[in-house]
Structure 1
Amino acid sequence: MAGVVVFVGDGLSAGARWDERFPEFEVHNLGVSGDTTDEVIARLDSVAETDPDAVVLQVGTNDVGWQRSDEYIVRNIETILWTLHKKLPVTRLLVQSVPPREQEFVPLIRTINCHVRQFAPTVKAHYLDLWPALADSEGKLSAEWSTDSLHLTEAGYVVWLSELRPALVDLLESPQTLPISTQPA
C-alpha cells in the first residue's frame, strides 16, 4: 500500500515523526507547534496543494488551553473538515478526537469530541477516538503517556500510533468516494 498522507494539526502532530512511523507512505507533516483551529483554517490551501490520498487531522487542544468555547472549537473543526472535503473531494479524511488534558478540561473536551464524532460522516470523514487509549480513569491524559498533561512522551506516541495505524490502513483500503457530480447515474 502506498499513498500520500498529510498530517495536519498542532504540536502533537508536529512532533510525531510521522515519516518514520509510516515509512510505507509519502508523508507530509503539516503539524505546527502551538497551532489552534484558526491557524489550521488559515493554511488549508497548503494542505490542498499536496493533493493527498488522505488527510489526518488532529487539532483542538490549544484552543482548549486558550479557553475557547466548545461551540467555537467545534465550529472551526467542522469548517476545517468541510473545507477539506470541498477542496479535496476524493481525498479520504480521518479526524482524531481532541486528546485528554488536565482534569478541568475533561467535560469541555468530551463535548467537543461528541459533536465532532457526529459531524464527521456528513463530510465522509472517519473519526478516531483516542480518548480510551490516552485517558486515565478520571478522564485526564494519563501520566503514563505525558509528563505535563499536554505533550506526549515517546511511550504516548507509541500508544497513539497503535490506534492510528489500523485506522489509517482501513481508511486507505476503503473505496474512494467520487464527488457527487461525477458519479455515474
Structure 2
Amino acid sequence: MKKYTWILLFTVLFCSSAIAQEVKWDSTYRPKTYKAQVEAFKAAPHTKKDVVFLGNSITAGTDWSKLLDLPQARNRGISGDISFGVLERLEEVIAGKPAKVFLLIGINDISRNIPDSLVIGNIRKIVDRIQKGSKRTKIYVYTLLPVNSSFGKFKNHYNKDEHILWVNDQIRKLTSKQVTVIDIYPDFLDAEHRLRAELTKDGLHPNAAGYEIFKAKLKSGPYLK
C-alpha cells in the first residue's frame, strides 16, 4: 500500500505543478478605448491613395503625416492592441483599399503570454486578408522592437527577449511579391541587446528620437515611393 500511496502522491504533485506552471492567455482582450477608436476610424474613411499605419501604441504614438511629410498617411494604431484586435477591425482598413499598409503588431501579445505561434499566425492572417481583400495594396511588416527592462515601467513586456527574437525571425520570412519586411529591430538595439535608452521614454515606446529612426528608415528605402 505504501508503494501505491507514494505513486498517487507523486502523481498529484506532478499534476499540480503542471497546472501551476500553465501560462494563461486571453485572445478576447481589447483596450478600453478600442470600440470608440474603431468607430472614429470608420467615421474618417481612407481612400485608395492613402497610406495606413496599423498597429498598437507604437503606431498610435506619433503623427505619421507630419513625421514623414506625408499628407495621405492615416493612423490606425490603438494603444494596447493585440493581433486579435487588429484582425477584428481589419475590414475597415481593407474596405478603403489603401495604396500601402505598414503593420507593427505583436509585442502586447507577447506581454499577455499569447503563444508565439499564434502571434505569427495572426500576422500571416492579417497579411493574407489584406492581399485577398485589396489586391493592389502594398504591405510592409515591421519586425518588433527590442525592450529595455532597466526602466522598470512595463514589467509584463520585459525579459521576454526570446519570444521577440523568435517572432522576428518568422516575420523576416514573410517576404513575397506584395509583402516587404522592414527589419527595424537592429536599428533600436544597443550593445547589450536592449532597446537603446536614448530612443525610448519608458523601455517600450519610442520617444521623439526613436520616431526619427522610423523616419530615417522609411525615407532611406523604397517604402514611400
* Coarse TM-score class (shorter-chain normalised): 0.7 to 0.9
Query: What CA deviation, in whole Å up to 9, does each residue of 1:111-158 have, x standing for no partner?
Result: 10111111232x620000111111112221111111321111111111
Q: Indicate which of 141, 155, 168 corresponds to 1:113.
A: 168
| 2:212 equivalent in structure 1 | 158
* Residues 140 and 181 in structure 2, CA contact (< 8 A), matched pair in contact too: yes
Contact 2:146 2:185 in 1 (8 A): yes
Deviations 1:78-100 (A, max 9, x none): 11111111111111110000111
Matches of residues 21-100 of structure 1 in structure 2 within 5 Å?
21-100=67-146
Which residue does the alignment assign to 2:63? 17
Contact 2:51-2:73 within 8 A present in 1 as well: yes
Q: Judging changes above 3 Å, is the alpha-carbon distance between structure 1 residues 133 and 172 closer, same or farther for their aligned structure 2 residues?
A: closer
Structure 2 gaps of 5+ residues are: 1-48, 149-157
Q: How many residues align?
A: 168
8 Å Cα contact 1:92-1:172 kept in structure 2 = no
Asked if the contact 1:134–1:160 (Cα under 8 Å) also holds between the matched residues in 2, the reply is no
Which residue does 1:149 correspond to in 2?
203
Segments of 5+ residues of structure 1 without an aligned counterpart are 174-185
**One-letter amino acid of the counterpart of residue 166, structure 2:** T
Please give the root-mean-square deviation of Cα atoms over the aligned residues, in Å. Answer: 1.6
TM (norm. structure 2) is 0.70
Q: Compute the displacement of 1:28 (Å).
A: 1.0
Structure with the greater alpha carbon radius of gyration: 2
Residue 8 (str. 1) matches residue 63 (str. 2): no
Partner-residue secondary structure (3-state), 2:53? strand
Could you tell me how far apart the structure 2 residues matched to 1:140 and 1:68 are?
22
One-letter amino acid matched to 2:140: L
**2-structure distance, mates of 1:24, 1:15:** 16
Q: Is the 8 A contact 1:92 1:171 kept in 2?
A: no
Query: Any idea what SS the aligned residue of 1:119 has?
Result: coil
